Amino acid sequence: MNVIMFGPPGAGKGTQAKLLQEKRKLPQLSTGDMLRAAIAAGTPLGKQVESILAKGDLVSDEIVVGIIGDRYDQPDCKNGAVFDGFPRTIAQAEALDKMLAARGRKIDVVIELKVDDTILLDRVKQRIAEGSARPDDNPETLKNRLDVYYRNTAPLLDYYKKQGKLTTLDGMAPIADVTAAIAQVLAKA
Ligand code: ADP
């Protein structure tokens, strides 16, 4: 099964994708984590994208489509994967559909976690207070990440709705409730 976790920055996609990875053995494919790992390792790719992530802008479609394609061909994705933070543009979604079709696969379900902007800002402030904030977790960069989300990524909701794959869940509910709601959706998919 191939699942996309969808939602604005801080919606809880990563948290839920990790839980799915543990429970259903579907690897979490997070482009954000992969890019941060490249930055931490100081690879040429990491050097190329570091300032883009710091600003909260989007890395090129070519780069993220490339790293997702390589990752998806690893043996642990033989039963599918959970895509987290990818796709983020229509071009990425089309590339993903093509990549999966070439392997006789498809996206089965897209789960949107809906969270109000004010709550997202509160969550970032909490990460800062706890000392667990990333370099791009500050109120100014979050504003840009949200703008980028609404401009480039939110239009994908319609793309997946038209394919009949979209389910929207309340991302402001307690973590365990969101996990249970996701399990119900996947049981029917
Ligand atoms: P968020 O919590 O904002 O959803 P992510 O960890 O998914 O964070 O992504 C962090 C940053 O990495 C983004 O702001 C962007 O710069 C870059 N990035 C991650 N995934 C993509 C993607 N699919 N396309 C373009 N840029 C991406």
Is residue 170 domain-resident? yes
pLDDT at site 162: 97
Shortest-distance atom of ligand 1 to CA 84: 7
The burial class, CB within 10 Å (0-12 / 13-18 / 19+), for 92 is buried
pLDDT digits (tens, 9 = 90+) for 71-88: 999 999 999 999 999 999
Is residue 177 domain-resident? yes
pLDDT at site 149: 97
Is residue 178 domain-resident? yes
Is residue 188 domain-resident? no
The tally of domains found in the chain comes to 1
Task: Check if 53 has its Cβ closer than 6 Å to any atom of ligand 1.
Answer: yes
Structural domain that includes position 50? 2-183
Is residue 94 domain-resident? yes
pTM score of the predicted model: 0.96
Is residue 189 domain-resident? no
Which residues is 5 bridged to in the sheet? Answer: 84, 111
Is residue 165 domain-resident? yes
pLDDT digits (tens, 9 = 90+) for 27-58: 999 999 999 999 999 999 999 999 999 999 99
pLDDT at site 85: 98
Shortest-distance atom of ligand 1 to CA 56: 14
Average pLDDT value for the chain: 97
What residue owns the CA closest to ligand 1's atom 14?
56
Is residue 116 domain-resident? yes
Name residue 2's amino acid: N
Task: Check if 8 has its Cβ closer than 6 Å to any atom of ligand 1.
Answer: no
| Residues in the chain where the model's pLDDT stays below 50 | none
Q: Find the 129 Cα to ligand 1 centroid distance in Å.
A: 22
pLDDT at site 48: 98
